[in-house]
Structure 1
């Protein structure tokens, strides 16, 4: 019986050491593939009704923007602009922009964003880019985060070009 207790104790110590060295050991494999695809809860593809519920639930300070398809919010010191597709009856979000008040050191911010969105950063001319979720592109220029549904953006550009 004493041998079983000692072995069980060694197993517990070994698992504790493994978790201390590699915390992701306990994270289920299904969560490793999950990527964050929102900024302050706003995500491209959300319908206007969902957006309104989010604003009410989280008590965000928001107001209509320069047109009916834009919502401007002040959240935790960030100026967040949410743009929706007014041509679609559901008015889904296609772009979320958050201008940060005090972003801090750029390298630290890029690492933090990469960790939060579980995605690898790609350096480009304007700053940093991440592919998060299906068809969603996140960019950061050192001051603002921009999350865009690329397919919706292309469709809106095409529609605007026809006008």
Structure 2
């Protein structure tokens, strides 16, 4: 009986130490900070079929570019273009561009984007960039927002 009490005490002390070092240890995954990694529901890595289902579910007005797996959509006043890998059988998305109509002041837009994607903006010569989701690069030049899987883009460039 004394051994069981000592073991239980050690377990409690160990859990308390872990929680002191890593407070999020006992938080359910659903409460963890989630980084957004999509634009209008489109995300690099999703297949062309998944993108087509999204278009149907959300009633987006899109058309497929002839001879390729590229979607051009009008969503909430933005011209959204979704690029997929033509060579891969699943045609995974590797880039999503959104040309924004009247995005407003750039400082306000950058703050809004940072808030939505839960990421810090990095000022560059051409505009701003963020690292979001699973290592995707989000960039904004004042009118166009681009979400890219840089690894997939590099593979596609190498293959061409």
Please report the TM-score for the alignment, with normalisation by the length of structure 1.
0.78
Q: Is the 8 A contact 1:46 1:93 kept in 2?
A: yes
Over 3 Å counting, the alpha-carbon distance change for 1:122 and 1:59 in structure 2 is same
Over 3 Å counting, the alpha-carbon distance change for 1:101 and 1:87 in structure 2 is same
Over 3 Å counting, the alpha-carbon distance change for 1:106 and 1:86 in structure 2 is same
Count of matched residue pairs: 134
Unaligned 5+ runs, structure 2: 1-26
Whole-Å separation in 2 of the counterparts to 1:97 and 1:31: 30
Over 3 Å counting, the alpha-carbon distance change for 1:142 and 1:66 in structure 2 is farther
Q: Is the 8 A contact 2:71 2:81 kept in 1?
A: yes
Whole-Å separation in 1 of the counterparts to 2:117 and 2:46: 18
Q: Is the 8 A contact 1:126 1:141 kept in 2?
A: yes
Q: Is the 8 A contact 1:140 1:146 kept in 2?
A: yes
The aligned counterpart of 2:142 is 142
Whole-Å separation in 2 of the counterparts to 1:112 and 1:147: 16
Q: Is the 8 A contact 2:36 2:118 kept in 1?
A: yes
The aligned counterpart of 2:116 is 116
The aligned counterpart of 1:62 is 62
Taking the TM superposition and a 5 Å limit, the aligned residue runs for 1:14-163 are 31-65=31-65, 67-160=67-160
The C-alpha deviation readout for 1:88-112, integer Å capped at 9, x for no partner, is 1110100000000110010000000
Q: Is the 8 A contact 1:135 1:151 kept in 2?
A: no
Please report the TM-score for the alignment, with normalisation by the length of structure 2.
0.79
The C-alpha deviation readout for 1:129-156, integer Å capped at 9, x for no partner, is 0000122000000001000001000000
Query: Which 4+ residue blocks in structure 1 deviate beyond 6 angstroms?
Result: none
The C-alpha deviation readout for 1:66-123, integer Å capped at 9, x for no partner, is 5412110000000000000011111010000000011001000000000000000000
